[in-house]
């Protein structure tokens, strides 16, 4: 598991120091955009911040589970069993309170490449961006 170090380059690959990127968002500052929220969720997965994943999932998301304990355990199993190699945000489209972010997450499990591309939808409610759902995308080109 990766530890978030405030003055180190952020885990999400933005090139900024963690404290000016996902660090602040993980500590409670509202994400400035859907992309910032998406990046902070990647960083939360990579650093094992399970509560953050649950708290930034929209209540109407199909990923929301009524049994919060079981949900947290499955998120933790994914987080702990995965090596978070890197993140590429490919595009973002924001329209009012909704946004789409397409990203490529470079991941490994048990030494195998399990990287994937996803087009995620986000919703802004009361000034907070939340993850709604996502569609896997086939690799480009
Ligand atoms: Zn970041």
CATH of the domain at 46: 3.10.450.50
Confidence of residue 140 (pLDDT cuts 50, 70, 90): low
Expressed in angstroms and rounded, the spacing between residue 12 Cα and the centre of ligand 1 is 4
CA-to-CA distance for 38 and 12, rounded, in angstroms?
9
Give the pLDDT score at 141.
44
User: What is the Cβ-side half-sphere exposure of residue 48, based on CA atoms within 13 angstroms?
Assistant: 8
Domain total for the chain? 1
Does residue 79 lie in a domain region?
Answer: yes
Expressed in angstroms and rounded, the spacing between residue 141 Cα and the centre of ligand 1 is 27
Does residue 6 lie in a domain region?
Answer: no
Expressed in angstroms and rounded, the spacing between residue 108 Cα and the centre of ligand 1 is 20
Closest CA to 46 of 81, 7, 94: 81
Expressed in angstroms and rounded, the spacing between residue 14 Cα and the centre of ligand 1 is 6
CB neighbour class for 138 (10 Å; exposed up to 12, middle 13-18, buried from 19):
exposed
If you average pLDDT over every residue of the chain, what do you get?
95
Does residue 12 lie in a domain region?
Answer: no
Does residue 109 lie in a domain region?
Answer: yes
CA-to-CA distance for 8 and 19, rounded, in angstroms?
8
| The token pair that represents 91 in the structure block | 């595009």
Does residue 4 lie in a domain region?
Answer: no
Residue 116: domain span: 18-137
CA-to-CA distance for 87 and 117, rounded, in angstroms?
10
Give the pLDDT score at 2.
83
| Residue 118, number of CB atoms within 10 A of its CB | 16
Residues 40-86 pLDDT 10s:
999 999 999 999 999 999 999 999 999 999 999 999 999 999 999 99
Expressed in angstroms and rounded, the spacing between residue 40 Cα and the centre of ligand 1 is 6
Expressed in angstroms and rounded, the spacing between residue 55 Cα and the centre of ligand 1 is 18
Predicted confidence (pLDDT) at residue 94 exceeds the cutoff of 60:
yes
| The token pair that represents 20 in the structure block | 């000016």
Expressed in angstroms and rounded, the spacing between residue 31 Cα and the centre of ligand 1 is 11
């Amino acid at each position: 598991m990766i530890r978030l170090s405030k003055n180190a380059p952020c885990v999400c690959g933005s090139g900024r120091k963690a404290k000016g990127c996902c660090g602040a968002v993980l500590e409670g500052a509202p994400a400035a955009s859907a992309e910032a929220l998406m990046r902070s969720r990647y960083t939360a997965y990579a650093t094992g911040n399970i509560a953050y994943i649950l708290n930034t999932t929209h209540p109407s998301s199909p990923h929301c589970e009524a049994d919060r304990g079981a949900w947290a355990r499955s998120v933790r199993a994914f987080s702990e069993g995965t090596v978070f190699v890197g993140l590429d945000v490919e595009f973002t489209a924001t329209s009012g309170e909704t946004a789409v972010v397409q990203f490529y997450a470079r991941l490994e499990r048990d030494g195998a490449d399990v990287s994937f591309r996803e087009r995620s939808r986000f919703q802004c409610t009361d000034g907070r961006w939340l993850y709604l759902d996502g569609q896997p995308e086939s690799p480009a080109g």
